Amino acid sequence: MPGGGLGEGAGGIGCELLKNTILVGFRRMHIVDLDTIDVSNLHRQFLFSTADVGKPKAIVAREAMLKYAPDADITAHFKNVFTFSAAFFRQFKIVFNGLDNIEARSYVNQMCVLGGIPLVETGTAGLLGQSSLIVPGVTECFDCREHPTPITFPICTIRSTPST
């Protein structure tokens, strides 16, 4: 399945999404993630190793994907998803979302709806995980349903000792 895709998030769900998109034939993609690799990521984010701790997830994930498909054209963005405009999103045929916060997921949803781009929306909120396909004008969008506001720290993001 050739085509261009955008992968948002290279964490627990994002690693699976990236691996699966490469394995089904995507060869052009962009990976966006503002986070760096932490020791606590290593038990569930199989693209990373202890040598990668402290490095940007998007850049290391790109290198890992090229091991699966050396011929792939993959661009890594170590940036916040909020810095990308609707014009950036319009260049993709599909967007895969693997984010862990409601605000970022909502933003990506809005950009995809504006651009008429299908969105495979996956994410977590604490121990809850979900996935859905959003096709603008055909299916319900991410913001069309209510999402509970998390009142605790997402377990997957807690470091050794939380500071807040």
**At 104, which helix (H) or strand (E)?**
helix 102-115
CA distance linking residue 63 with residue 119, whole number of Å: 24
Distances, alpha carbon 64 to alpha carbons 29, 60, 72, 136, in Å: 13, 6, 11, 32
CA distance linking residue 119 with residue 97, whole number of Å: 7
Tell me the two tokens of residue 100.
Answer: 């862990």
Give the end-to-end CA distance of the chain in Å, rounded to a whole number.
Answer: 44
Q: Is 156 a catalytic residue?
A: yes
CA distance linking residue 16 with residue 161, whole number of Å: 27
Q: Amino acid letter at 118?
A: P
CA distance linking residue 19 with residue 26, whole number of Å: 10
DSSP state of 133: E
Q: Which of 15, 112, 141, 156 is catalytic?
A: 156
Catalytic residue numbers read 156
